[in-house]
């Protein structure tokens, strides 16, 4: 079986700092030009407006509740969610796959530990509870919604640092997980440096296109999506020293 994490591509703290400054739509574009599928985690919305996040993925997988699974599940500090928590720090994002969008993966007391660890963020395609307290904890939270429901009657935490599917997207431990007001995008560890380079250039080109459209109002279709006229315009702006 292939390893769950990649030993050949490790996302650095410097790369995470760069990714945090890049809008998630630009990251999607950067992957797309290299024929990667879109990696937007569906349903993961920011709990607090304006938050930004970037970190290496630590994954947590929930499974549907069954009495025999509950009986076999490690208890106390050995339970999967607490094992996953201890793998997190300022440059890690916990990514938890729930069994349904309205099911709670946790709340106040559990996530106090994430606050103590100064975790880089929490992402789930399920829901969270104790919203007021979570907002006070300060770390970025992206979830489908908030809920008053308890989770244990519906699902149990089971797998740690496995390849999971969260919000319809495959997430591999160690991938870069980036969030902003538009949602959460996963950048595969093997593609991080390439995407940063592509994104940096695309940001400059888009600024040029916007400047041209503001100066000479016309259909965006002339330059967007990018085409030969787009690149010619960009080169013209660069020659004039007007490109960022």
Q: Are residues 125 and 223 in the same domain?
A: no
* pLDDT tens digits for range 120-138: 999 999 999 999 999 999 9
Q: Are residues 217 and 109 in the same domain?
A: no
* pLDDT tens digits for range 22-47: 999 999 999 998 999 999 999 999 99
Q: Are residues 74 and 168 in the same domain?
A: yes
* pLDDT tens digits for range 191-209: 999 999 998 888 889 999 9
Mean pLDDT of all residues in 155-183: 97
Q: Report pTM.
A: 0.90
Q: Are residues 152 and 219 in the same domain?
A: no
Q: Are residues 182 and 201 in the same domain?
A: no
What percent of the chain is modeled with pLDDT above 70? Answer: 97
* Euclidean distance between CA atoms 74 and 5, whole angstroms: 23
- Token couple for 15: 């790369």
Residue 3 within a domain: no
* Euclidean distance between CA atoms 88 and 119, whole angstroms: 6
Residue 122 within a domain: yes
Q: Are residues 48 and 166 in the same domain?
A: yes
Q: Are residues 85 and 150 in the same domain?
A: yes
Number of compact structural domains in the chain: 2
The answer to whether the CB of 176 falls within 8 A of the CB of 187 is yes
Q: Are residues 48 and 137 in the same domain?
A: yes
Residue 91 belongs to a domain with what CATH number? 3.50.30.40
């Amino acid at each position: 079986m292939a390893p769950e994490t990649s030993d050949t591509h490790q996302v650095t703290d410097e790369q995470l700092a760069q990714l945090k400054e890049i809008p998630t739509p630009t990251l999607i574009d950067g992957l797309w030009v290299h024929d990667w599928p879109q990696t937007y985690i569906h349903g993961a919305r920011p709990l607090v407006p304006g938050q930004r996040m970037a970190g290496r993925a630590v994954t947590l997988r929930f499974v549907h509740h069954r009495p025999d699974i509950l009986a076999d599940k490690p208890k106390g500090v050995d339970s999967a969610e607490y094992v996953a928590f201890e793998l997190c720090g300022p440059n890690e994002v916990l990514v938890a796959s729930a069994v349904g969008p309205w099911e709670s993966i946790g709340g106040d007391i559990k996530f106090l530990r994430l606050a103590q660890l100064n975790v880089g963020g929490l992402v789930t395609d399920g829901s969270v509870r104790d919203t007021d307290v979570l907002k006070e904890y300060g770390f970025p939270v992206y979830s489908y919604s908030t809920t008053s429901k308890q989770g244990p009657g519906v699902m149990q935490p089971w797998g740690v640092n496995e390849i999971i599917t969260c919000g319809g997207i495959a997430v591999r431990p160690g991938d870069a997980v980036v969030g902003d007001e538009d949602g959460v995008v996963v950048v595969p560890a093997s593609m991080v440096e390439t995407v940063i380079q592509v994104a940096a250039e695309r940001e400059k080109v888009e600024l040029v296109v916007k400047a041209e459209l503001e100066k000479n109002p016309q259909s965006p279709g002339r330059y967007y999506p990018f085409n030969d006229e787009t690149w010619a315009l960009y080169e013209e702006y660069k020659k004039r020293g007007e490109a960022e």
